[in-house]
């Protein structure tokens, strides 16, 4: 059915997703999750592959990807750090934790380090307020992370996307100063 030579594992995953979720377009998100955990993000060719292998328009794939924060279609680090800035975490010092990470990495929330290795993101309540301030590194929970112990998030061992490729021409990150 496919017109192009997609990586074998993508073809396999698309088939597996369709077998598990035969109804409507339900196979799309399970497929995207597998590519996301393999690559660390969703490169444009993965979205082309989803449309092609699952039999839907690329526009539909775009509309879904753009709705969900875990589906990132811009280059993302091998290590993605989500710092929760929700109310309970804020009360436990999450803003200082975020600030420490920003200063240490030389990037602002939402950005990726120059070498492409670490992406720093703000998370909404991670449903781990008992661990405030809570964070996730590649979706593995960590908490409480005292603001001065921010290095834990850079050093803790986590499963990494095995198919991650470093960006070829890293853009100089821009540090913004707000407020």
Binding residues (CB under 8 A) for another protein: these are 20-21, 23-30, 32-33, 63-64, 67-71, 82, 85-88, 90-91, 95-96, 98-99, 102-103, 108-110, 122-130, 132, 136, 139-141, 175-179
φ, ψ of residue 83 to 5 degrees: the values are -100, 125
Kindly tell me which of 17 and 75 has the beta carbon lying closer to another protein. 17
Cis peptide before 49 (omega within 30 of 0): no
Angle of CA points 98, 139, 17, to nearest 5° = 145
Regarding 146 and contact with ligand FES (CB under 6 A), the answer is: no
The region of 18-26, 120-128, 151-159, 167-175 touching ligand FES under the rule CB under 6 A is 120-128
Buried b (16+ CB within 10 A) or exposed e, 79-89: bbbbbbbbebb
Q: Binds 2, which of another protein, ligand FES, none (CB < 5 to 8 A, cut-off by type)?
A: none
Kindly tell me which of 89 and 101 has the beta carbon lying closer to ligand FES. 89
Q: Which string of x and - marks every residue 89-108 that binds ligand FES (by CB under 6 A)?
A: x-------------------
Kindly tell me which of 80 and 116 has the beta carbon lying closer to another protein. 80
- The two counts, helices (H) then strands (E), for the chain are 7, 4
Are 127 and 113 spatial neighbours (Cβ–Cβ below 8 Å)? no
User: Residue 131 Cβ, how far from ligand FES at the closest point, in Å?
Assistant: 7
Q: Which string of x and - marks every residue 42-81 that binds ligand FES (by CB under 6 A)?
A: ----------------------------------------
SS (H, E, C) 25-50: CCCHHHHHHHHHHHHCCCCHHHHHHH
The rounded Cα 102 to chain-centroid distance in angstroms is 18
Pairing mode of beta strands 79-84, 135-137? antiparallel
The residues binding ligand FES (CB under 6 A) are 84, 86-89, 125-126, 128-129, 132, 134
């Amino acid at each position: 059915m496919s017109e192009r030579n997609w990586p074998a594992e993508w073809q396999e995953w698309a088939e597996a997703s369709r077998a598990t979720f035969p109804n409507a377009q339900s196979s799309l998100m399970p497929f995207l999750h597998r590519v996301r955990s393999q690559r660390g993000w969703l490169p444009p060719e993965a979205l082309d592959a989803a449309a092609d292998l699952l039999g839907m328009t690329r526009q539909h794939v775009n509309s879904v990807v753009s709705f969900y924060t875990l589906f990132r279609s811009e280059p993302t680090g091998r290590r993605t750090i989500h710092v929760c800035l929700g109310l309970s975490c804020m009360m436990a010092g999450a803003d200082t934790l975020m600030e420490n990470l920003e200063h240490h990495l030389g990037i602002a929330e939402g950005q990726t380090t120059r070498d492409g290795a670490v992406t720093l993101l703000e998370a909404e309540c991670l449903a781990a307020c008992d661990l405030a301030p809570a964070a996730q590194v590649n979706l593995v929970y960590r908490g409480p992370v005292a603001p001065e112990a921010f290095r834990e998030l850079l050093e803790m061992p986590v499963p990494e996307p095995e198919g991650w490729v470093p960006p070829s021409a890293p853009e100089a990150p821009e540090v913004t100063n707000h407020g």
